[in-house]
Structure 1
Amino acid sequence: MITLIVGRKGSGKTKKLIERANEAIEKSNGNVVVIEKGLKLTYDISHQARLIDSDAYGILGTDALCGFISGICAGNYDVTDIFVDSTLKIIGQDMKALVQLTEKLNTLSSLADTKITLLISADQSELPKEIDSFTEQI
């Protein structure tokens, strides 16, 4: 299952991610991974989660992010949840690329039995209709 948490900057998306990540940690029988751009969530997310700074691994673009997440799932069969903060800062503002990423990650999510949540800093009206079924407005 893939979920897109959508809202403009300052609308509370990161707060929602923190809540959901910490809830997932409490409920998970496996591992929870949080991918962030920069190290800003270190003190908000439980130490039991695996925090990954996308900048430290040079993750830029749709293919890099998708490949990185695929590698996490391939290397760790017990990852139950993956959260990605600042998705558009990592992949760029290309909405067609966002649709492709969403489709690929939705397939991966089913194959790996992993819940994937992406935070998208944009207004719902700016997003392509193809991803409406995955979005959750903040």
Structure 2
Amino acid sequence: MVNLLTGPKGSGKTQQMIELANQQAKACNGNVVFIKNSHRDTRSVAFDIRVVCMDDYPVITNIDEYICFLYGMYSANHDVECIFIDGLLKHANINLEDVPEFVEKLKKITSQCGVDFYVSLSASKDDLKDVDFTDCALLN
């Protein structure tokens, strides 16, 4: 399932994502990955969650490369159950126009690999009018 957490910048989405990731780390049998833009604010993420900072991967510049990165992460560890992507619009030059295609590609990964995604976006639901919310959950 693809879970979307939307809201304006500064509305506490990152803290909500960290809390959700920590809950999932306790509840699931597999591994949890938390992808964020920089190395800041990772202290409150549980130690057993794999934190990936996109600043370490500057060659990922578009949604196709980002999706390949996610497939590579899964292929290296089939025990990944949940992937949290915090602040998607700060990663890899992704903008609002890319979100519908990105969500569709995440749905394919979910159906093929059984990985649940949690994605936070600094946008309102109205900004995402082109997103097909079938098989998605809005967390707010």
Write out per-residue CA displacement over residues 62-81 of structure 1, whole angstroms, 9 at most, x where no aligned residue: 11211111111111110010
| Residues 101-112 of structure 1: pairs in structure 2 closer than 5 A | 101-112=102-113
Partner of 2:78: 77
Partner of 2:138: 136
Write out per-residue CA displacement over residues 19-64 of structure 1, whole angstroms, 9 at most, x where no aligned residue: 1100010012111000100012320100100000111012332112
Partner of 1:96: 97
Partner of 1:44: 44
Counterpart residue type for residue 114 of structure 1: V
Could you say if the C-alpha distance between residues 34 and 85 of structure 1 is closer, same or farther in structure 2, counting changes exceeding 3 Å? same
Q: Distance in 2 between the 1:28 and 1:130 partners?
A: 28
Q: State the identity as a percent.
A: 30
Q: Distance in 2 between the 1:131 and 1:89 partners?
A: 22
Which one is further off, 32-41 or 58-67? 58-67
Gaps of 5+ in 2: none
The Cα shift of 1:89 comes to: 1.1
TM-score, with length taken from structure 2? 0.90
Q: Distance in 2 between the 1:81 and 1:2 partners?
A: 10
Partner of 2:118: 117
Partner of 1:62: 63
Counterpart residue type for residue 124 of structure 2: D
Q: Distance in 1 between the 2:51 and 2:139 partners?
A: 25
- Equivalent residues of 2:8, 2:124 under 8 A apart: yes
The Cα shift of 1:91 comes to: 4.0
- Equivalent residues of 1:7, 1:137 under 8 A apart: no
Q: Distance in 1 between the 2:15 and 2:88 partners?
A: 15
* Runs of 4 or more consecutive aligned structure 1 residues displaced over 4 Å after TM superposition: none
> Per the alignment, in what secondary structure is the counterpart of residue 118 of structure 1?
strand
Which one is further off, 13-22 or 124-133? 124-133
Counterpart residue type for residue 130 of structure 2: K
Q: Distance in 2 between the 1:93 and 1:65 partners?
A: 9
